[in-house]
Amino acid sequence: MKGGWLVDRFLTFSGILLFCLNAGLARAEQASRMTVLDLAEVERGYIALDYAYFSESLDVFDFASKLNSTFKPKDAASVYGSVGYKPMDNLMMSYQREYTRAATSRDREPFEVESNVQGDALLVRWQLGERVGYGLQVLAGLAAREQDSLRVECYGFSELTVGACDGADLTFIDQETGQAEPAVVTAAEEDRWHVGLLLKKQYGNGIILWHRLRFLHSDVDTDTQSAFLALDDPFLLSVRFNGELLGDTITRLKSTFPQEAPWSERTVRYDIGLNIPVGERWLLTGEVGFLKVSRRDYEEFDGVPNYESNALLNASIWYNPLGTLMLFGRAELSQHYLLGLDPMIYNQRTAKFFEHPYAQISAGVLYTF
């Protein structure tokens, strides 16, 4: 069978994304498709396109009810486009563009929030021939993702509402423009690189056994701007609101935000899988993965759990309707949400959500030429 396109993760539930939790959609990972698509099966290159969608009605695992949060997922959509080119027979270079959008709802201000993420990724695969009976490939990649600036006009915390909206208890005015300032403006970005090895061995019945080992490094940076959180006037901080000092309320609210300083995440990941052909046009694949995460310059808050390992189970079915066109469906399960898969959504505010397992279904198409 020729072709293949694996989307490594579908849509993360967007209810946990506000304040630097990125756009709410899981990333497609170029490195995944290499386990099905061999360099020898591509004459010159490929083009791929994928669309994914999530809404509350698709939450069949009732994930939203398990979120200890005022934010709940509403809907999300993702588009991934990629192109690959072989400048040499043993070398493949590919580029991927990502656009994701997610919306969340809340029972207080802000009642609805929409966030967007855009990203670019490059991957290089270099075939080195055979070693100990396995075909050996060296992998290397770069990726950059950025959450668009998210402007939250009004925000309710405890019994206090701040920002530029009707009914706000506190509103701050920009001295230069004379306009009311939003409650908070946030953004986030991630830069990632990885290196790895892929070993593949084909048996006489067409079954392929493969092993993949990778090291991934991500630098994550978040930015939060808020006149309310930056308030330092001693008189205002000593004012009592609903029986609590305003300064204490601000301190509690700050503790629900990610840290301001950048941090890095390093992941060692191992996967093992099988590709099993069924007839001339069908292919079944299955894989098991394990990963270990460490973080640098990451602050551990009191009472906030810290997760550092994850286990993954994935399966897919492929169909070749004609020529070099491939269609696929994929199911994925992880022990601890997207730990080690999407570093930009793990922080002090979201760590508690990574206690839960995660499942998703995705689909895609690829054409080789």
Q: Which of 210, 216, 218, 214 is nearest to 314 (CA)?
A: 210
Contacts of 318 by beta carbon, 8 Å cutoff, 6+ apart? 1, 4, 36, 282, 283, 284, 285, 326, 327, 328
| Rounded distance between C-alpha atoms, residue 122 and residue 257, angstroms | 31
Quick one: 264 exposed, middle or buried, by C-beta within 10 A (0-12, 13-18, 19+)?
Answer: middle
Q: Up-side HSE of residue 327: CA atoms within 13 Å toward CB?
A: 5
pLDDT at 61: 54
pLDDT tens digits, the chain, 369 residues: what are they? 433 222 232 223 333 333 333 333 344 455 567 788 888 788 999 999 887 776 655 555 555 565 555 566 677 778 889 999 999 999 999 999 998 888 877 777 888 888 888 999 999 999 998 988 899 999 999 999 998 888 888 888 877 888 888 888 888 888 888 888 998 898 899 999 999 999 999 998 889 999 999 999 999 998 888 888 888 888 988 988 888 898 998 888 887 778 889 999 999 999 999 999 999 999 999 999 999 999 999 988 888 889 999 999 999 999 999 999 999 888 888 999 889 988 988 988 788 878 888 777 778 899 999
| Rounded distance between C-alpha atoms, residue 203 and residue 199, angstroms | 13
What domains can be seen in the chain, in order of their start residue? 14-150+188-368 (2.40.128.130)
Instruction: Name the phi and psi angles at 57, rounded to 5.
Output: -65, -20
DSSP string, 141-187: EEEEEEEEEEEESEEEETTEEEESSTT-SB--B-TTT-PBPPSEEEE
- Residue 253: DSSP 8-state: H
Cis-peptide, bond into residue 321, ω within 30° of zero: no
**Per-residue model confidence as pLDDT tens digits over 239-274:** 888 888 989 988 888 877 788 899 999 999 999 999
| Rounded distance between C-alpha atoms, residue 34 and residue 4, angstroms | 8
- The helix or strand, by DSSP H or E, that contains position 129, with its residue range, turns out to be strand 112-131
pLDDT at 252: 83
| Rounded distance between C-alpha atoms, residue 11 and residue 99, angstroms | 12
**Which structure tokens are listed for 298?**
């990451």
| Rounded distance between C-alpha atoms, residue 53 and residue 366, angstroms | 19
pLDDT at 253: 82
| Rounded distance between C-alpha atoms, residue 359 and residue 336, angstroms | 10
Q: Which of 135, 280, 137, 132 is nearest to 206 (CA)?
A: 280
pLDDT at 85: 95
| Rounded distance between C-alpha atoms, residue 34 and residue 128, angstroms | 15
Question: What is the torsional sign of CA 164, 166, 167, 173?
Answer: positive
The alpha carbon of 125 is separated from its chain's Cα centroid by a whole number of angstroms, namely 23
**Per-residue model confidence as pLDDT tens digits over 202-220:** 998 889 999 999 999 999 9
